[in-house]
Amino acid sequence: MKHSIILIKSIIILAVMLFSCQNDKQTIQQVSASEELPGETTFEADLMYSDSARVQIRIIAPELNRFQGDEIKSIFPKGIELRVYDKEEKIVTTLTAEYGEHYETQKKLDVKNNVVVVNGEGDTLYTEHLIWDEVNHTIESDEYVKIRTGEEIIYGEGLEAKEDFSSYRIKKIKGTIVIKEEKDEQVQ
């Protein structure tokens, strides 16, 4: 009788194990398809884009993950620095952000989190989200923006600008603060 109870318990345990470990092929394929993995990962990436042997854009990133599919996409999960150069290969614009996605077919860069754009005159744009359109050579945002120039600080919601940030239009200006420089006075 004792052997019969042990045999029955063993059969029950074996049956439970077999049925609990069963996976159908469709479930496995769904789980596998939902996990998108990069085709390439590059650490300490330093990419240069040139035309006629002249550097136009340089991208520096601690990590770059490239995905293949209908849309070729590069993700910069640990931040990105993008530099735009003029014909003399001097930096005219710098863009930094803590996260970025580049869509190769659409030719757009979508950056987020502590986005800062600085142009050659030192004008600085601060926002949390920005899209750079490579085809139209523009940058835009629908988020809160702050622009600091040599003479003022401008606040607003939304922005459209040239990619070199040489000219821009704020969609909803919230306020402007004029900065007055204090002149050094000599005491005699």
**Angstrom distance (rounded) from CA 89 to CA 57:** 9
Residue-level length of the chain: 188
Which residue would you say has higher pLDDT here, 54 or 22?
Answer: 54
Q: Which of 106, 112, 50, 55 is nearest to 80 (CA)?
A: 112
**Angstrom distance (rounded) from CA 10 to CA 187:** 99
**Looking at the domain assignment, is residue 185 inside a domain?**
no
**Looking at the domain assignment, is residue 135 inside a domain?**
yes
Mean pLDDT of 65-76: 90
**Looking at the domain assignment, is residue 23 inside a domain?**
no
**Looking at the domain assignment, is residue 28 inside a domain?**
no
**Angstrom distance (rounded) from CA 91 to CA 121:** 11
Q: Write down the H helix ranges in the chain.
A: 2-20, 25-34
Q: Could you read off the pLDDT of 85-132 as tens digits, one per residue?
A: 888 889 999 999 999 999 999 999 999 999 999 998 899 999 999 999
**Looking at the domain assignment, is residue 165 inside a domain?**
yes
Q: Tell me what percent of the residues of the chain surpass a pLDDT of 70.
A: 76
Q: Does residue 187 surpass a pLDDT of 50?
A: no
CATH assignment at residue 73: 2.60.450.10
DSSP H or E stretch at residue 122? none
**Looking at the domain assignment, is residue 144 inside a domain?**
yes
Q: Tell me what percent of the residues of the chain surpass a pLDDT of 90.
A: 44
Task: For residue 172, give both structure tokens.
Answer: 């909803």
**Looking at the domain assignment, is residue 18 inside a domain?**
no
Structural domain containing residue 167: 39-178
**Looking at the domain assignment, is residue 2 inside a domain?**
no
How many folded domains does the chain comprise? 1
Task: For residue 79, give both structure tokens.
Answer: 């931040």
- State the pTM of this model: 0.74
